[in-house]
Every structure is written in C-alpha cells, then in structure tokens.
Structure 1
C-alpha cells in the first residue's frame, strides 16, 4: 500500500518529513518498506502553506493495512500541530489493487498541485469519486498534498528526481539553537560537490542546509543519488542525531515551471519560464530589491525582481539595459516575477557621444564654443563634431542563478544542467 501525508507542521515547529521518517521505522512492525520514501514539494506560491509546502509518501508491503491506517492516524493526532490555524493534516491510503486505476488520475493531480492552485473541495471530490481511503483533520487541506505524493509514488519513472539526506534532532533539543560545526559543512561540500549542492553558499560564507526554525530537522544534504548525500552527511560534525532518512524528491528539478508564450497569460500564484526584451533600466527600491520590466513580442510587460535575499545576484541584474534579450524562470506574486534563473540571450549595443581625440597626442579635444567644433589645446588640431562610440558592456551572455542562500526548493541548480551549448554560471 501507499501512504500519503501532508500538513502536519506549523511555523512554530514539527515537520511532515520527520513524521515520515518515524513511520518508516514503526510501520516495519506491520510489513516491509518497498522503496525510498518520497518528499514532494508542491506549488511554492500557495499562501496557505506553513513553511516548505512538502508532502511525503511511503510504500509498504503488508498483510494488515487497517492496522497501518490506525497507526498513521494516531501518530498524526499525536504529533501534528493541530492548535495552529494553518495546520490542517490529511492522509491517504491506496491499496495495490487500485494502483493501475488511480495512477493516471493522481499523476494529473500531482502535476496540478505543483504548478497550479487546487481547492480543498477538488481533492475531497476526487477521494469520493474514486473511493480512496483517507482521513482529513480540521478543514483537510493536507489531503491535497497527500494525494499528490501518492501520485508521485505511483508514477516514479515519469518525473525527474534528486535525493535528500535529512537528519533529525533529539526531541529534548527541539526549539533550542542547533549545535553544528560550520566548517564541517564546507568540508563536506568540497569533497562531494557537484554530486551535492546547496550545502553551503561559498561566496556569502553561509551554511544553507541547516534550518533556523524550531522544527526537528538538524540538517538536510541534497544531491544526485543516495550514496553521495549519505557520504556528505557522514562528514558533518554536530549534536547527536535521533534518526535520519534519505528521501527521493522533486527538489531541484524545476517541476513547478510552466512555459508561457505571452505575458498576457501570466497569473499570480504560478511559476513560469518566459522570454522577453528588457524594456527599462533596473532600479533599486527601498529594501535593496532590484526591479526591471521586460516586454514580449505583443507589447505586454511584467516587472521582474531580484529581491534583497538574492545578494550578489543583484549586481548582475543591475547590468541589464533596455534591448537586452533574456529568458527568465521564477514565481509570480502581486504581478511581479521573482527571478530564480536568468539566461542573457543577447546583449544590446549601447552608444554614447564623446569629444574627439587628437590624432597627434591622443588626448580628448575641448569645445571651442557653440557651433565652433573642438580643438586640442596642446597641438592646435581641430574637429567639427563629437564622435559616436559603442559602450563596452560588462555583461556576457549565458545562464545565471540566484545564490544557494536564496534558492527555492524546486528551483533546478545550474550544476544539474546538461546543456553544453550554453555558457553556464553556477552560483557558489
């Protein structure tokens, strides 16, 4: 059977992946775990999410599904932060006899949950229509993620995936500052990159795989396969670990992005790939955010933003000028695209006028007065007018990304790109 679970955490603590790791151990009393658990990130723009908007799925071979169902429900009741208004758990149970029947239905549901907006009613109607065993708590919003995670488990071969080694704190340490040796994360990165990524942010000297909230996670190492993330985790020096789990996940895959042919079709709470021409000089607004507009072939415009947390990425964005052709990836909120990656496809030629140079000494001539041309004071040479010359641009074409400290869970890091024809600039 497959078990999907979502929305057991809150902004003040707990973590659905911790519950998944706990159940991985406990459910072996009722059967055998068949494959790695799944951690599925859903639409990152949804306003109802608590923190990372992640659901989990487990696959167990068992002869006593009802005992498993009862155990899972009791654990959710015990550990979920029900007192939080935004915590609305849901769990779904799918038996093997229903795999083939539900696989295409839940595949579509998975894709919609990651790229679109789903109402609770839609999830409940699907459960009712197909007779899916489930349990919702409070308003049952977690049923959306639980169904999506089951859809991912039923369709493992159809989506790109990475892996994450998640280490969990001992319960008595929850809510206290994490005791980790910072340098050990940089050591792990040096020995395992590019097989792992987003462990640290080298340019900003930050450890980015250690959360700051009160949840049970001590750290999470992301990478290309289970062996490499486990190797990196073994190099970390930190406080004692209660348990760990290696999850297969859609993190770092760009699975949330939609292609769009016209800016006119863009909606809030969705994520896109789009192309356009820069139509205004980037400006820095209050808070250090950098904003600029792009225009598509139909004349539609949208503001694009490199927000302050993107740090040094903003230096690149400030170099853009009207006429540059770009392709962007990012999520849209309040009518503004939050940039995750940018491909500078073509750089516009810029020109300026300047005083002519003296052909003898090479110095710039001075104006001789209105409509009197220019004269070199040293050599006495003359010129009739200013010269138009091309401005040298401090920008090269290629694919750029925000630094690891600003990367969203689903954004595909450039270290994973296989496009050899592109000039790729991975952020380190």
Structure 2
C-alpha cells in the first residue's frame, strides 16, 4: 500500500518529514517498507501553508492494512501540532490492488498541487469518488498534499527528482539551539559540490542546510543521489541524531513553474517562466528590495523583484537597463514576480558622450570654451560638440540565480542545468 501524509507541522515545531522517518522504522513491524520515501514540495505560494509545504509518502508491503492505517492515524494524532490553527493533517492510504488504476489520476493531481491552487473540497470529493481510504483531522487540508505525495510515489518515472538526507534531533533537544559545526559543513560542501548543493552559501558566508525553527530537523543535505548526500552527511560534526531518512524529492527541479505565453495570463499564487524586455530601470525601495518592470511583445507589463533576502543577487539586477531582453523564473504574489532565476538573452546598447577625437593625431580634443566646441591644440582641428559612443556593459548574457541562502525548495539550481550552448553562472 501507499501511505501519504501532510500538514502535521506548525511554525512553532514538528515536521511532516520527521513523522515519515519515524514511520519508516515503526512500520517494519507490519511488513516491508520500501525505500526511498517520497518528499513532495507543493505550490510555494499557498498562503495557508505552515513552513515548507511538504508532503511525504511511504510504500509498504503488508498483510494487515487495517492495523497500519490505525497506527499511522494514531501517530498523527500524537505528534501533529493540532493546537495550531493552520495545522490540518491528512492521511491517504492507497491499497495495492488500486495502485495501477489510480496512477494517472493521482499523477495529474500531484502536478496540479505543485503548480496550482486546490481547494479542500476538491480533494475530499476525489477521495470519495475513487473510494480511497483516508483520514482528515480538523478541516483536513492535509488531504491535498497526502494525495499529491501518493501520486508522486505511484509515478516515479514521470518526474525529475533529487535526494535529501535529513537528520533529526533527539526529542529532548527540540526547541533548544542546535549544535552543528559550521566548518564541517563547509568541508562537506568542498568535498561533494557539485554533486550536492545548497549546504552553504560561500558568497555570503552562511550555512543554509540547518533550520532555525523549533522543528526536529538537525540538518538536511541535498544532492543528486542517495550515495552522495549520505557521504556529505557523514562529514558533518553535530550533536547526536535520533534518526535520519533519505528522501527522493521534487526539490530542485522547477516542477512548480508554468510557461507564460504572455504576461497578461500571469496570476497570483502561481509560478512562471516569463520572457520580455526591461521597460523601466531597476530602483531600490525601502527595505533594500530592487524592483523593475518587464514588458512583453503585446505591451503587457509586470513588476519584478529581487527582494532583500537575495543579497548579492540584487547587484546583478541593478545593472539591468531598459531594452534588455530577459527571461525570468519565479513566483507571483500581489502582481509582482519574485525572481528565482534570470536569463539575460540580449543587452541593450549603453551610450556615453565623450570629447571627439582629432582625425589627424587620434587624441581627444579639449574644450575651446563655453559654446565654442572642441579643438586639438596640436593639429588645429575642431569639432562642434561631444560625440555619442557605445560603452561596454558590466554585464554579460547568460543564466544567473539567487544565492543558496535565498533559494526556494523547488527552484532548480543552475548546477543541475547542464546547458551546453549557454553561459551559466551558478551561485555559490
């Protein structure tokens, strides 16, 4: 059977992936748990998410499905932060005999949950229509993610994936400051990059893979294979971990992005790839955010932002000029696109005015006095005014991204792009 779980955490603690790791151990008593488990990140713009909007799925071969369902539901009741208004757990159980029948339906549902906005009633209606055993607590919003995670587990060959090694704290340490040796994380990054990524942020001198909230996660290492993330994790010096799990995940895949044929079709709470021309020069507003306008060929415009948490990425954005042709990836809220990646396709020419050159000796002429033009004292040649010259831009076409400290879970790091015919500038 396939077990999907979502929405057990809160901003104050707990983590659905922790429950998944715990069940990986406990469900061995009921049968054989196949690995790796699945971690699916859903639409990152959903306003009622708790933290990372993650759901998990496990695959279990068992002869006692009723006992398994009872155990999972009891564990959710015990560990979910039900006191939090935004915590509304859901669990879904796909019997083995129904897996093939439900594969295409739940694949479509998973893709929609990552890219679109799904109402709770839609998930409940689908569960009822398909006859899927499920349990929702409180308003049951977690049923959406639970169904999506099951769709991912049933269709492993249909989506791009990466892996994450998650180490979890001993329960008595939850809510206290973590001990993870910073230098060991930088060492692990040096040894395993580019097979792993987003462990640290070299440019900003920051650790990225250690959370700051009171949840059970000690650290998480992201990479291209279970072997690589496990190797990197073995180099980390930290407080003793209670357990760990290696998840197969849609993190770092850009699964959330929709193609935007034009800017008029862009909607809030969705994420896009959009192309156009810079129509207004970037400006820095209060808080250090950098904003500019993008215009498509039909004249539609949208504001685009490199917010303060993107740190040094803002310096790149400030170099853009009206007329630059670019393609952006990012999520949209309040009709503003929050930039995750940028491809600079073509640069507008930059012109400056300078004193004319003498046609005889090639040196720049000097002013002959106010309103009297320019003159070469050596050759006696003259010119009436300054000349307009094209100047080299301090920017080159190519792909750029926000630094690791600002990267969203789903955003595909440029180190994974493998582009052969273009200039890629991975953020380190």
**TM-score in terms of structure 2 length:** 0.98
CA distance in 2, matches of 1:322, 1:58: 50
Inter-partner Cα distance in structure 2 for 1:363 and 1:9: 69
Q: Residue 77 of structure 1 corresponds to which residue in structure 2?
A: 77
Work out the CA distance in 2 between the residues paired with 1:319 and 1:426. 18
The offset of 1:386, in angstroms, is 1.7
Where does residue 9 of structure 2 map in the other structure?
Answer: 9
Q: Which residue of 2 aligns with 1:160?
A: 160
User: RMSD across aligned C-alpha pairs, in angstroms?
Assistant: 1.2
**Partner of 1:37: helix, strand, or coil?**
strand
CA offset at residue 35 of structure 1? Answer: 2.7
Q: Point out where structure 1 has 5 or more consecutive residues left out of the alignment.
A: none
User: In the TM superposition, what is the alpha-carbon distance from 1:274 to its structure 2 partner?
Assistant: 0.9
Q: Which secondary structure state, in structure 2, belongs to the residue aligned with residue 112 of structure 1?
A: helix
Which secondary structure state, in structure 1, belongs to the residue aligned with residue 213 of structure 2? coil
What does residue 363 of structure 2 align with? Answer: 362
State the match for 1:64 in structure 2.
Answer: 64
Matched, 1:254 2:254: yes
Partner of 1:185: 185
> What's 1:18 paired with?
18
CA contact (8 A) 2:199 2:207 kept: yes
Structure 2 counterpart of 1:201: 201
Contact 2:365 2:374 in 1 (8 A): no
How far did 1:361 drift?
Answer: 7.7
C-alpha displacement of 1:100: 1.2
Aligned to 1:420: 420
Q: Deviations over 1:352-377 (max 9, x none)?
A: 3222234548244215333x322346
Shifted more, 358-367 versus 255-264: the winner is 358-367
Q: Which residue in the other structure is 1:87 paired with?
A: 87
The 5 Å alignment of 1:331-350 reads 331-350=331-350
Q: Answer with 34-43 or 373-382: which moved more.
A: 373-382
**The residue matched to 1:328 in structure 2 has which SS?**
strand
Tell me whether 1:106 sits opposite 2:106 in the alignment: yes
Unaligned 5+ runs, structure 2: none
Whole-angstrom distance in 2 between the partners of 1:335 and 1:344: 22
CA displacement 1:223-242 (0-9 Å, x = unmatched): 00000000000000000100
Question: What is the distance in 2 between the residues matched to 1:419 and 1:7?
Answer: 37
- 1:21-420, aligned counterparts within 5 Å? 21-358=21-358, 360=361, 362-370=363-371, 372-376=372-376, 380-420=380-420
C-alpha distance 368-88 of structure 1, shift in aligned 2 (>3 A): same
Give 1:335 shift: 0.4
Once the 2 structures are TM-superposed, how far is the Cα of residue 380 of structure 1 from its aligned partner?
5.0
Per-residue deviation, residues 202-241 of structure 1 (Å, max 9, x unmatched): 1111110000000000000000000000000000000010
CA deviations on 1:378-407 (whole Å, 9 max, x unpaired) are 765421222110022001000000000000
Count of aligned pairs: 427
- CA drift of 1:109 comes to 0.5
- What CA deviation, in whole Å up to 9, does each residue of 1:162-212 have, x standing for no partner? 000000000011001101110000000011111100000011111100000
What CA distance in whole angstroms lies between the structure 2 residues aligned with 1:185 and 1:21? Answer: 23
- Cα distance in 1 for residues equivalent to 2:418 and 2:48: 35
Cα deviation, 1:97-142, whole Å, max 9, x if unaligned, reads 1011111111110010000000001000001111110000000000
**Other structure's SS at 1:109 match:** helix
1:257·1:272 contact (CA, 8 Å) conserved in 2? yes
Separation in structure 1 between the aligned mates of residue 180 and residue 147 of structure 2, nearest angstrom: 36
Bigger mean CA offset, 84-93 vs 350-359: 350-359
